[in-house]
Amino acid sequence: MLELVSDLGGGKTTFVRGLARGMGSIDRVASPTFTISRVYEAGDLELHHFDFYRLHEAGLIAEELAEIIGNPKVVAVVEWGGVVKNVLPDKRLTITIEKTPSDGRRVMLRAPESLGYLIRAAHA
């Protein structure tokens, strides 16, 4: 489970595009801002990309998210997760993307110790 945190236009969908490609998906990745969620095929896995920006309350889509979290065949990525904070597991990788003054990006990773290997691998 990945949670992406960034301002509008911060690079969240670009990150998901790279993740999908890295997982082997040939699907065209687009922002789910208006559709709320998109699913991409990646071999034996599925990448579920949720964007809760336009919602004040998640409703049924929160139930869908809760059902797929923990499925070993699904990688779930959530943007604007505050709307579903009661559904998000504590055991998740949070990736914060900040724009820099030079139009670059600063990426910060946060995870519980049980997922610390992901952060160590990213810094290797």
Higher pLDDT among residues 20 and 64, named by residue: 20
Sheet bearing 93-99, strands edge to edge: 37-42, 45-51, 74-79, 2-5, 93-99, 105-110
Return the percent helix, strand and coil in the chain, to nearest 5: 25, 30, 45
| Total number of domains in the chain | 1
The pLDDT, as a whole number, for residue 72 is 94
Structural domain harbouring 105: 2-122
The pLDDT, as a whole number, for residue 60 is 84
Q: Note the pLDDT tens digit of each residue in 38-58.
A: 999 999 999 999 999 988 887
Mean pLDDT over 60-77 rounds to 92
The pLDDT, as a whole number, for residue 88 is 93
The pLDDT, as a whole number, for residue 119 is 87
Q: What CATH number did the domain enclosing 19 receive?
A: 3.40.50.300
The pLDDT, as a whole number, for residue 124 is 76
The pLDDT, as a whole number, for residue 122 is 84
Mean pLDDT over 28-35 rounds to 90
